[in-house]
Structure 1
């Protein structure tokens, strides 16, 4: 346990009883602070209105049932899809049933274990580029908005591993810029998933959301069509885009067409960029908050003197720290499923069409499951409580058949970039600038995460600048 008495920040819970319209207003501002404190202890909570039922579940047995044992009974809610369709189309994140199963059969081979070793050089090149950008900005010490840094490097990782182009590429740069604007304009979860709005009621988007989504998709279309042309010409690089475009469904023998590929690239960018950026930003903040852990990771990062993929296996503390940051600040704080038929939860009838809300945010801090649930303690993963909770109450990447196919990719990326940054810089909190978690597309800070960066002196084994 850290010697610091400071607790990582979390949003203040709302009062227990509020009117429906007060709840709607709070929800629109931030879904995290709109929830009552009792959800950190409850096994299940029900939200009921004349035409709407919603059940938030925290009990591990119910989580297992919904995600692992009966996933076809609890498909993704189409109410969520309505909010994200302008950007994601019919991507694997939104589809259900046979369409989803076909998409996963084509996508999953690209993220198998052996592929991590192949994508590692591009991932490391993006991390090294981020270090150089920070060096030019920081000098002898400067205040840096960390979410901007992590968004940039996470986007660079995606473009290098997916399309073999750096973020400096003109198209890649514009996608990144527009996606940053989109991220702030669109809440993760459509209001209709939590409040009793009729399905026929039109969904309204904040200004700029639809135009940005349209432009992002147009840019992704250009990248996709260029890659398809390169494949036909026989000179396409061996990256993730090529792997996915050339993989056939083992059942039908079909491949993704151009439109389907655009949908999938959109979700790869969302899942691989947004979530990684969020997780890395909060991890860096925690390292500034707990400097004793920062120093341990800096020492461990010496393993990165070896440039090969094998160095990742030596970043054990970095992985545990990143895993703990994902517990405290899961990038996707809530997921929504829908009951496709009547079921029973905890002796309570759940009607067909009811929304089933799974909340990593509350599950990961549940007072009846975790030891010291609000505390930062990377050593918990070696304890019996930590091991059990990791199996039963830890779902930053979801679980079961719909687990994120890039979960392994994300864990390597997180440990690598975290270690690279701490190897080259000391970071410290800015007094009076504690971040406040809020949910946009992912869990971000209300006013950014501002940290002080100071370059470390290179070790004797590292080359010094001669300029």
Structure 2
């Protein structure tokens, strides 16, 4: 008989039962868009609605999602509000570029993120994770803000793997700088909802201009450092992401501005998704003893066997499942926004027809999709068992979108998965992370799904540092 307790239900907004007023929509979108959605968004396959004068189709049906993001992706461009929020930060980086600019950027960075190439980063990921774990050595029973810590860890891994440790940072407060940037710049302003042109000032973002200028300065200094090295010692310069981008600049490749935008995208946002997902995973596991027991047994066995870190992703099904379940409950990118270029129509397998008018905004929201009552058993509960190999076939490809789908699927998905499993393996092999009375995170949508109030966990040692390499 299964005597395990009911699975942990981590904090999340309760679906609304009463539609919000227009003023409440503005307030909620500015404060936390995750609190906006009502019961229909978690129960119906699609909803045609309006925000102010803008028609919006909210899509939860996996077949319709596939139609929009894959089968007829050419008919859908980036939605206006999304671009008004993100382009001031990333300009023509890979997340925000469109058309020929996006194709050039994608082609330029693709070689560094092939699965084979990504696997080559495993030992660097291991070394950086082991080095960062020393932070907790001797800190028996102390409490740490794991949200900030995972941001720092993910940054060190990104810095070492994609930039060979040569990012020209100006201080040791990188995690705080990222939080400042996303808190002030990565949120919807009322002017965005009204589709005001980009030159109209966004009062809510004025405080973020200083930190954005700081990030831009870091990028330019980083580019200058590497150019100088390529000019003086090109044969010994790292053949990494930074060098690849700089070599892609020129009349037939990327402009200097596009190179800068893509570097900023990966420094400021590329690591953020993995960092947040790692923190949410440790939080959920701390509340799920039977999951933690299974993960610790699995991790200890793999690490003590001396397995190459390249193979950890395949040899740790429970660890991978816990991370993927955290990605389900707290998707780093909680919404995917598109707009129809021309009229379109989709017919479901049962014969129902969805007409999609030109210019309608499409919202594919992993936040609601991943908690949809028609698609998931106990959708609000943390149940990594869903993602164990024997259960994965029950999950439709387009009901689970932590990395998006279609031509614009996250190019770093394999990199992120490998990084996360190696980091979790190192941290959970040596330490245990527990709840405290101060642990009261609340999910808030900015550029990613962040834990408001911090994510305080108490750290205790499980074993001393090992010689795994």
With normalisation by structure 2, the TM-score equals: 0.89
**1:423: which partner in 2?**
429
Aligned-partner Cα distance in 1 for 2:19–2:353: 25
Contact 2:42 2:372 (C-alpha < 8 Å) held by counterparts = yes
Report the more deviating stretch, 155-164 or 40-49.
Answer: 40-49
> What CA deviation, in whole Å up to 9, does each residue of 1:279-338 have, x standing for no partner?
001000011001222222222223235373334232222111111111111011111111
Instruction: Provide closer, same or farther for how the CA distance between residues 192 and 455 of structure 1 changes in structure 2, counting only shifts above 3 A.
Output: same
Q: Verify the 8 A CA contact 2:109 2:241 in the aligned structure 1.
A: no
1:315 aligns with 2:306: no
Q: Aligned partners of 1:190, 1:245: CA distance in 2, in Å? A: 34
CA RMSD of aligned residues (A): 2.7
* Residue 349 (structure 2) aligns with: none
Deviation at 1:239, TM superposition (A): 2.1
User: What does residue range 203-222 of structure 1 map to in structure 2 within 5 Å?
Assistant: 204=202, 205-222=204-221
Measured against aligned partners, the alpha-carbon deviations of 1:218-260 in whole angstroms (never above 9, x if no partner) come to 1111101221232233131132222343358xxx983334321
Partner of 2:76: 74
Distance 1:296 1:451 in 2: 20
CA drift at 1:273: 1.6
Are residue 325 (structure 1) and residue 330 (structure 2) matched? no
Match in the other structure for 1:441 = 447
1:110 lines up with 2:109 in the alignment: no
Superposition pairs of residues 34-433 of structure 1, within 5 angstroms: 34-48=36-50, 51-135=53-137, 139-165=139-165, 170-171=169-170, 173=172, 176-189=175-188, 195-199=193-197, 202=200, 204=202, 205-233=204-232, 234=234, 235-246=236-247, 254-302=252-300, 303-305=302-304, 306=306, 308-312=308-312, 313-344=314-345, 347-382=353-388, 386-431=392-437, 433=439
Unaligned runs of 5+ in 1: none
Structure 1 residues 200 and 446: CA distance shift in structure 2, 3 A: closer
Q: Give TM-score, length-normalised by structure 1.
A: 0.90
Shift of 1:68: 0.8
Whether contact under 8 Å (1:39, 1:45) holds in the other structure is yes
Contact 2:152/2:174 (<8 A) preserved = no
Q: Is the 8 A contact 1:2 1:292 kept in 2?
A: no
Return closer, same or farther for 1:188/1:65 CA change in 2, 3 Å cut-off: farther
In structure 2, how many angstroms separate the alpha carbons of the residues matched to 1:192 and 1:344?
31
CA contact (8 A) 2:148 2:175 kept: no
Report if the CA contact (8 A) 2:309-2:422 is conserved: no
Asked whether the 8 Å contact 1:79–1:190 carries over to 2, the reply is no
Q: Identify if the C-alpha distance between structure 1 residues 369 and 118 changes in structure 2 by more than 3 Å, giving closer, same or farther.
A: same
In 1, Cα distance between the equivalents of 2:194 and 2:205? 20
- Could you tell me how far 1:128 is from its partner in structure 2? 1.2
User: Secondary structure at the residue paired with 1:156?
Assistant: helix
Q: Distance in 2 between matches of 1:253 and 1:338?
A: 31
Partner-residue secondary structure (3-state), 2:76: coil
In structure 1, the residue matched to 2:458 is: 452
| Alpha-carbon separation, structure 2, partners of 1:294 and 1:100 | 41
Deviations 1:47-78 (A, max 9, x none): 32563211111111110011111111111124
Secondary structure in structure 2 of the residue aligned to 1:218: helix
Distance 1:219 1:2, change over 3 A: farther
Q: Cα distance, 1:383 vs. partner?
A: 7.4
Structure 1 pair 397–29 and aligned structure 2 pair: CA distance change class (3 A)? same
Q: Deviations over 1:197-216 (max 9, x none)?
A: 45588251434212211220
Query: C-alpha displacement at 1:40, in angstroms?
Result: 0.7
Asked whether the equivalents of residues 317 and 389 of structure 2 are also in contact (C-alpha less than 8 Å), the reply is no
Q: Unpaired segments of 5 or more residues in structure 2?
A: 347-351
The whole-number CA distance in structure 2 between the counterparts of 1:2 and 1:232 is 66
